[in-house]
Amino acid sequence: MGRSIIDILFWIILLIILIIDFKKKIIPDALTITIIILGIIKIIFFNENLENKLIGMGTYPILFNYLYGYGEKIFKKEVVGFGDIKLLSSIGFYLGYFGLIYLLIYYNIIFLISPIYGIIYKKLYEEEEIPFAPVIILSTFIFIIIKGRII
């Protein structure tokens, strides 16, 4: 019962992040920190592995760190924001690390959804800057379904 409440709070926070990023194109640090706190609660009360959580925190955003650092030089514009990297890091901490195959599946989901979302967003809103948190959150939801893990 307690784990379900934590999981519901996780999804509520992600929904709030999705709405804020969609409207204001920012991801509040307080919300990503709250996700990390929920992960810490899972460690303390549900005996989850801290090391696994820390590895998840470091590996989920790793590819996007490169896009953040080098993408602007290559594409001459910001490709991904640092808020998106912090969001991926907090999601990685909450979910934990499942292995390289699952991380690659997660990345593939993100990279399959991104262009579709980008095209639809540009047609509807005709804005240059596209909020990326909705892609990350939808990809997380699909990843969990594919993983067969109910969170």
Summarize pLDDT for 70-127 with one digit per residue, the tens: 888 888 888 899 999 999 999 999 999 999 999 999 999 999 999 999 999 999 998 8
- Are 80 and 136 spatial neighbours (Cβ–Cβ below 8 Å)? no
C-alpha span between 41 and 30 (Å, rounded): 16
CB atoms within 10 A of CB 81: 19
pLDDT tens digits along 20-69: 999 999 999 999 999 999 999 999 999 999 999 999 999 999 999 988 88
Nearest in space to 137 (alpha carbons), one of 2, 21, 5: 21
Nearest in space to 151 (alpha carbons), one of 74, 72, 24, 39: 39
pTM (predicted TM-score): 0.93
- Output the pLDDT for position 79: 86
Determine phi and psi for 110, rounding to 5 degrees. -60, -45
Concatenating the DSSP letter of every residue in 106-120 gives HHHHHHHHHHHHHHH
Q: Which domain holds residue 57?
A: 2-147
Provide the domain count of the chain. Answer: 1
- Output the pLDDT for position 150: 47
The pLDDT-based confidence of 149 (bands split at 50, 70, 90) is low
Please give the structure tokens belonging to residue 82. 């640092």
Predicted confidence (pLDDT) at residue 151 exceeds the cutoff of 60: no
- Output the pLDDT for position 16: 98
